[in-house]
């Protein structure tokens, strides 16, 4: 049976853009995105979307009110749908068994219970959230045990591989779509029903079908491999700084080997984002649970290296500024975890700023898309005291006011606008010697040196 009505639980960074793309490509399918957060739903229905993504406004506008709807009426959205995506958050557990590693599945479980309670007839449930392997079994048993109207369900896994900042491109033309389902007649039919939605705009050969567990595990493994490449090049960045090699030259040289490939070899102050660390920790926990300590230790190192990269960046700043940053103004350019997003989850900027604040630095922070409220909240959640935030953090509306009378400037996000900064103006505004710590290699080393800055670039040294 062709799908006529889709609902998605969770209007976040994944659910919102993904459903907007489906609605825009399939005008005959009604797509309803439901979320319990009223503010977020109101924002999706307004001119200022809650998620900043290049090109997303146009995609949403093309379908909003026609066949794309955002609502807080979760029950009705579920009741009217043939196919339900579950895209609620799955943060790392902060308490109890598996704290700091396992995924907190409470939102997934409550979504499953609600679906069971409200549904009639036959429905396809699609796991869009990243979840530990075998979660589908848990969802199935909750659905089976709690359906008062005798509804029947098929559970599919359809992980999302979009990256923030390029979500629209990634949804429009993904490398692959992965759909995992039960290898039964009903399972195959459900997989085919979902595949035929994507096939409206994605070539069939890019739609990959697997069993449920392969699909669930592939998402964790894809993110673990991507994060591992960054930790690998970041480990080499430290060696480059020590030896005088240039990490960009090394990355280029190894990346031209077609077996290695050129992508995801950019050394940086560390990776951030909602997925990499969470999924790595999940994989670590999974391996622990299956009594594979060697495998779990192997992947844990990818996270350790990332933490070390952030702390050694802070150490570099403190050491260079004559071992004290107390009461010194440091301009922070960029707070988002990467360019072209307003998302700050796990952003390396949070820990770098926290540690500088604990050294009593004064921070003047500028980010083109992240709000003042988010920055202050992130620092608070990272354990910085409200008093220290109030007295030592200034949020600036442009880079030049941030650098005025600053001892140092640190770039923590690779925003394109930083590449065209007026370096001589910045040099004039800063105290001397003027230090630049380029955590994203976003500025030109030669130009900085020519202007008289003292420069540290990740992977290139001073």
Output the CA angle 403-405-409, nearest 5 degrees: 35
**Residue 40 near residue 10 (C-beta atoms within 8 A):** no
**Beta carbon of residue 20, minimum distance to ligand UDX (angstroms, whole number):** 13
CB 56 within 8 A of CB 13: no
Take residue 62 and report the two structure tokens written for it: 């093309």
| Residue of 119, 147, 223, 228 interacting with ligand UDX (CB under 6 A) | 223
* DSSP result, 9-56: E--STTHHHHHHHHHHH-TTSEEEEE-S-HHHHHHHTSSS-SS--TTH
Say whether residue 12 binds ligand UDX (CB under 6 A).
yes
Count CB atoms within 10 A of the CB of residue 94. Answer: 8
Residue nearest to ligand UDX (CB): 12
Q: Which of residues 389-408 bind ligand UDX (CB under 6 A)?
A: none
Q: Which is nearer to ligand UDX, 98 or 406 (CB)?
A: 98
Q: Which of 3, 14, 31, 49 binds ligand UDX (CB under 6 A)?
A: 14
Looking at the Cβ atoms of 365 and 441, the one nearer to ligand UDX is: 441
Instruction: Decide: residue 298, CB within 10 A, 0-12 exposed, 13-18 middle, 19+ buried.
Output: middle
Q: From 358, 347, 366, select the one nearest 383 (Cα to Cα).
A: 358
CA distance 444 to 449: 9
Residues 119-148, one symbol each (x = binds ligand UDX by CB under 6 A, - = not), give: ----------xx------------------
Q: Which C-beta is closer to ligand UDX: that of 147 or that of 218?
A: 218
Quote the least distance from Cβ 110 to ligand UDX, whole Å: 5
Q: Is position 85 an interface residue for ligand UDX (rule: CB under 6 A)?
A: no
Cβ distance to ligand UDX smaller for residue 91 or 433 = 91
Nearer to ligand UDX, 264 or 308 (CB): 264
Site for ligand UDX in 261-290 (CB under 6 A): 264-266, 268, 271-276
Q: Cα–chain-centroid distance for residue 296?
A: 22
Q: Strand, coil or helix: what is 158? A: coil
Query: Dihedral (C-alpha) 364, 367, 370, 372: value to the nearest 10 degrees?
Result: 20
Q: Which residue from 25, 40, 310, 407 is in contact with ligand UDX, where contact means CB under 6 A?
A: 40
Q: Judge if the upstream peptide bond of residue 433 is cis by omega within 30 degrees of 0.
A: yes
Interatomic CA distance for residues 163 and 230, integer angstroms:
15
Residue 87 interacts with ligand UDX (CB under 6 A)? yes
Interface pick for ligand UDX out of 71, 80, 138, 161 (rule CB under 6 A): 161
Residue from 160, 246, 248, 340 touching ligand UDX (CB under 6 A): that is 160
Residue 275 among the catalytic residues? yes
Strands 68-71 and 83-86: unpaired
155 by DSSP, 3-state: which? strand
The minimum distance between CB 446 and ligand UDX, in angstroms, equals 22
Closest among 422, 368, 383 to 54, alpha carbons compared: 368
Q: How far is the CB of 345 from ligand UDX (least distance, A)?
A: 8
Q: Is 43 in the site for ligand UDX (CB under 6 A)?
A: no
* Catalytic (active-site) positions: 275
Residues that bind ligand UDX (CB under 6 A): 9-15, 35-37, 40, 87-90, 107, 110-111, 129-130, 160-164, 223, 226, 230, 264-266, 268, 271-276, 337-338
């Amino acid at each position: 049976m062709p799908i006529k009505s889709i609902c998605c639980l969770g209007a976040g960074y994944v659910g919102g853009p993904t459903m907007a793309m489906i609605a825009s490509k399939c005008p005959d399918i009604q797509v309803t995105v439901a979320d319990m957060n009223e503010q977020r739903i109101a924002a999706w229905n307004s001119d200022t979307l809650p998620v900043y993504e290049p090109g997303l406004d146009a995609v949403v506008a093309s379908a909003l009110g026609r066949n794309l709807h955002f609502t807080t009426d979760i029950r009705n959205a579920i009741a009217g749908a043939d196919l339900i995506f579950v895209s609620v958050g799955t943060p790392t557990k902060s308490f109890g068994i598996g704290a700091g590693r396992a995924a907190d599945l409470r939102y997934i479980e409550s979504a499953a219970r609600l679906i069971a309670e409200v549904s009639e007839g036959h429905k396809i449930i699609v796991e869009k959230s990243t979840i530990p392997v075998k979660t589908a079994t848990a969802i199935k048993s909750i659905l089976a045990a709690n359906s008062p109207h005798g509804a029947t369900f098929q559970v599919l896994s359809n992980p999302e591989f979009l990256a923030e900042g390029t979500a629209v491109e990634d949804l429009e033309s993904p490398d692959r779509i992965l759909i995992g389902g039960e290898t039964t007649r009903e399972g195959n039919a459900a997989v085919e029903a979902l595949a035929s939605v994507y096939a409206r705009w994605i070539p069939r050969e890019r739609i990959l079908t697997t069993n449920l567990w392969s699909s669930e595990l592939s998402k964790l493994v894809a993110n673990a491999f991507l994060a591992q490449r960054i930790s690998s090049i970041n480990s080499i960045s430290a060696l480059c700084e020590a030896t005088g090699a240039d990490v960009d030259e090394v990355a280029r040289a190894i990346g031209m080997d077609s077996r290695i490939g050129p992508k995801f070899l950019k050394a940086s102050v560390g990776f951030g984002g909602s997925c990499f660390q969470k999924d790595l920790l999940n994989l670590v926990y999974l391996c622990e649970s299956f009594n594979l300590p060697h495998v779990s230790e192997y992947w844990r190192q990818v996270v350790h290296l990332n933490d070390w990269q952030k702390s050694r960046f802070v150490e570099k700043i403190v050491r260079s500024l004559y071992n004290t940053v107390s009461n010194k103004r440091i301009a922070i350019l960029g707070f988002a975890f990467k360019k072209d997003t307003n998302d700050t989850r796990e952003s390396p900027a949070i820990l770098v700023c926290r540690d500088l604040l604990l050294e009593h630095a004064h921070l003047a922070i500028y980010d083109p898309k992240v709000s003042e409220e988010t920055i202050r909240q992130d620092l608070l959640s990272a354990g910085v005291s409200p008093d220290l935030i109030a007295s030592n953090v200034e949020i600036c509306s442009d880079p030049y006011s941030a650098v005025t009378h600053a001892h140092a400037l640190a770039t923590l996000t690779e925003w394109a606008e930083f590449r065209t900064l007026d370096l001589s103006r910045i040099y004039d505004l800063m105290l001397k010697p003027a230090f630049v710590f380029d955590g994203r290699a976003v500025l030109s080393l030669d130009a900085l040196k020519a202007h008289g800055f003292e420069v540290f670039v990740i992977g290139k040294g001073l």
